[in-house]
Structure formats: C-alpha cells, structure tokens
Amino acid sequence: MIDFIVPFCEQQVTIIYVDDDILVVDKPSGLLSVPGKNVLNKDCLITRVQQQYPNAHIVHRLDMDTSGVMLLARGKANLSCLSRQFQERKTEKQYLAWVYGVLQDDKGEINLPLCCDWPNRPKQIVHYELGKPSLTRFEVLERNPVTFQTKVLLKPVTGRSHQLRVHMAELGHPISGCEFYAHQDALKQADRLQLHAWKLSFIHPSTGALLTQIAPAVF
C-alpha cells in the first residue's frame, strides 16, 4: 500500500471544540489522520490542524475513509494524559453505520480476536490463535428493506484496527461502501464508507470533567 497515492480531500477539517488543553475536530472521509509512508501522502488531519494550532498532537486515529469526531491534545503533558485514557479504556466511542442486509437482532455483541493479515496489510483477519481480544457491541436504529440496509449504532469496547469493519463483515453484514471487506453488492450501496465516529466521551485533562462531543453524520 506504500505506492498508493491518496486523492486530495477537498473537504475541510471542522473544529468542534477548542481550549488551552484540547482540540476536538470532525474529520472528513477521505483524509488521512497522520502522514502516509509515501512522501506524497503528507496531507492529513494533523498537518492541517497544526497550521493553526502548532502544539496539537494526535491522541487516536480514524481510518482514512471514516469520518467523525477526533480528539487532539495541545502539549505533551495533555497528550500523555489523554493517551492513557484510551489505553485504559476510560473513553467511550460510538459510531453510526449503514450495513448491508437487514439485521434480525435488535442488539448484540461480536467477540472475535483480530490480527493483521500481513500479506494483505493493512487488512485485518479473525485469528483465534494470534488475534488480540476484540469486542464490539451493536444496536439497530433503523431497518430499510427497500435498500436492503440497516442503520446501526456501534460501540467498540476495544480499539483494534479495522475492528468495526471486520466484525460487521464477519456477522454477515459488511458496512456499505467498504472497499476492504464488503462484497460487491455491499460496496455498490454507497460511494464512500458508511461509517462515522458520532460521539466521543472522555475526561478533560485539566478540569477532570467528563466531556462528550458529537459530530452529526453526513449520511
């Protein structure tokens, strides 16, 4: 994938919240979170944000095709505090997605271990021997039998790479528009990945207050 040149993302990064310690932004689909390995893939969320806020640091990432809420730290001390929250699972992340097919269960969970599919990286696979524990909870919000899709709320308990994409695909309901894991019928349902980081809750590094930030889904 190092030879892949990311098309320029015309959409802008929207600042949702800012203070002396943190930044919360809405990342558009099609924009890298950090620079890619290829020298031509330098345009990304952090380089754009640092033009206005030079002390901003990435705390966590979203896939290039995923849109939505991202938290950034201002300064190294705040970076350490916020990174620890993600590592210790003290944050709560919620995603919205349209998936292929009509789910029968109103809610449930997917508990499948994941690891990198090295010959096909960055793809991930379910592997019961080498995979790391990975847990996703889901809740049906809307069923659309006309388009043969279901809108779901996804709550990842763990934060593995491509976790939501792989888990929904393994459930038999790949996320619409997913180029990595969707079959052709699911891929044709949308012109972009129908996955959006809708809500993020975390503890403010200075005040200790619980903050919840939301970015409405464009789909």
Q: What is the pLDDT of residue 37?
A: 80
pLDDT digits (tens, 9 = 90+) for 136-178: 999 999 999 999 999 999 999 999 999 999 999 999 999 999 9
Lowest mean pLDDT among 33-47, 76-90, 184-198: 33-47
Q: What is the pLDDT of residue 1?
A: 54
List, in sequence order, every beta strand (DSSP E) within 101-205: 107-111, 114-116, 124-126, 135-144, 149-156, 195-203
Q: Of the candidates 140, 102, 126, 128, which has an alpha carbon nearest to the alpha carbon of residue 181?
A: 126
pLDDT digits (tens, 9 = 90+) for 98-138: 999 999 999 999 999 999 999 998 999 999 999 999 999 99
The encoded tokens of residue 217 equal: 């889904």
Q: What is the pLDDT of residue 36?
A: 85
pLDDT digits (tens, 9 = 90+) for 23-68: 999 999 999 999 988 877 899 999 999 999 999 999 999 999 999 9
Helix (H, G, I), strand (E, B) or coil at 76: helix
Question: Quick one: pLDDT band at residue 5, thresholds 50, 70, 90?
Answer: confident
Catalytic residue among 20, 63, 106, 117: 63
Q: Which residues contact 54 (CB under 8 A, 6 or more apart)?
A: none
| Residue 63 bears catalytic tag | yes
